[in-house]
Amino acid sequence: MLLKFANRVLSRLLLILSIFSLFIPKNRDLVLFGASLGKYFDGNGSALYQYIIKCHKGEFSCVWLTDSKEVLLLVKNVGGRAYLRKSLTGIWLSLRASLIVTTHQTSDVLLYSPVLKTPKELLLHHGAATNRGPNQGHLSSGNMVFKNDTEVLKYSKKITYMIATSSWTAERQRMVLPIPPSRVKIAGYPRNDFFFQPDEVMINSIKSKYDLGKYTVLYAPSWRKCWPVHYFPFKDLDMEALSSYLKERMITIVIRPHPTDLKRQENNEFCKLLQGANDVVKIITRDEIPDVQPLLYLADCLITDYSSIQHDYFLLNRPVIYLPYDLDEYSNKVGGFNMDYDEFSPGPKPKTQAEFIDYLEMLLNKNDPYVERRLKIRDIIHEYNDGQSCRRVYELIKEMTAPVS
């Protein structure tokens, strides 16, 4: 009863705040950033934010809003400004901002839902939209953030511009967020600029800290909403034999689990199973290394299933192994795909541990028959392959904050 009352009071306060924001003059130079519903400092938002404060210092007043005290420290460590969203300063800044930059939705930055599309919103996105969209009748099924189609449609009207990596990805993003083509800007994802200007000090530090072998294989499966990921889904799985092979070939498999998946008891038990192989199979969480881009950059091979992380990895044109052990179940429960899965997964799909080892050996020996297919798909997914995405999005921000003549 008390919780319901508190929620009603909070809803009323946020409504008042939303209306009050209409009467507060906006600061054209104030740009607010946030990501992952206020939880993290990573991805496209983090990459763009760091680019602007480093390369265009003083041109905008860029502030990161968050719910996390850890994020406050991360932002300050890179020379930025950050405040808690629920602090008086955070609330005041949210009322004064002319533009917010998000990765998931408005609540990455704002506590309240703006009235009359103020401030402007630039949606950077956090991954390619590969699930079904409204044309197939499952608008909300392709978007984990929103509860239903009504919420998605309401939010799509608030977006000023949305970033995409190509016309192909833009078309699929618009299946999930149905906004006019004129409000989609092909600029590339800021986070992928890292592949073209890598932080070698960071890369070497990761290699040293985690004692990675001669070869590094990143294992990053997709998140399942209703059931846990089954890692190494082979009926003939023999962790002792797999560990022996990895050790002999000086291969380290780095598992990058989804934060939600780590909380599931089934996978916690699997993590305990892996402890016996912790010299060759390591788990590196988002809390340890917020951005996955450095891990992608140092990986000689990627293991995944349906995750759009592979789309970023295509820019490096390195081998990908697919483990779609629950393809039919996954497709049915998330509403399917808006592409041909087999066509857009250019790599081997082993079903046994023996096949997995054979494919891994083949790919690490540079016997890779999928190179041309990956390049073809890369060029469909990425219109730009130049490491200049931050610059292009920055130019868009300048345009969005320019005074109206």
Give residue-wise pLDDT tens across range 377-388.
Answer: 999 999 999 999
pLDDT at 69 > cutoff 50: yes
Dihedral, CA atoms, 295, 299, 304, 306, nearest 10 degrees?
Answer: 60
Alpha helix ranges (H) inside 78-133:
88-96
Whether the CB-CB separation of 291 and 43 falls below 8 Å is answered with yes
Q: Which fold has domain 198-381?
A: Rossmann fold (3.40.50)
Where do the CATH 3.40.50.11820 domains begin and end in the chain?
Answer: 12-193+387-401
Domain 12-193+387-401, CATH among 2.60.120.280, 3.30.479.10, 3.40.50.11820, 1.10.150.120: 3.40.50.11820
Closest CA to 113 of 103, 100, 124, 125: 100
pLDDT at 22 (0 to 100): 66
pLDDT at 4 > cutoff 90: no
Going across the sheet that includes 301-304, the strands are 281-283, 251-255, 215-219, 301-304, 320-322
- Look up residue 80 and give its two tokens: 């930025």
pLDDT category of residue 143 using cuts at 50, 70 and 90:
very low
What residue has token string 């590969």? 130
Q: Which of 2-16, 24-38, 145-159 has the lowest mean pLDDT?
A: 2-16
Where do the CATH 3.40.50.12580 domains begin and end in the chain?
Answer: 198-381
Phi, psi of 150, deg, nearest 5: -60, -45
β-bridge mates for residue 332, sequence order: none
Q: Pick the more confident residue, 126 or 4.
A: 126
pLDDT at 141 (0 to 100): 44
pLDDT at 206 > cutoff 80: yes
pLDDT at 27 (0 to 100): 87
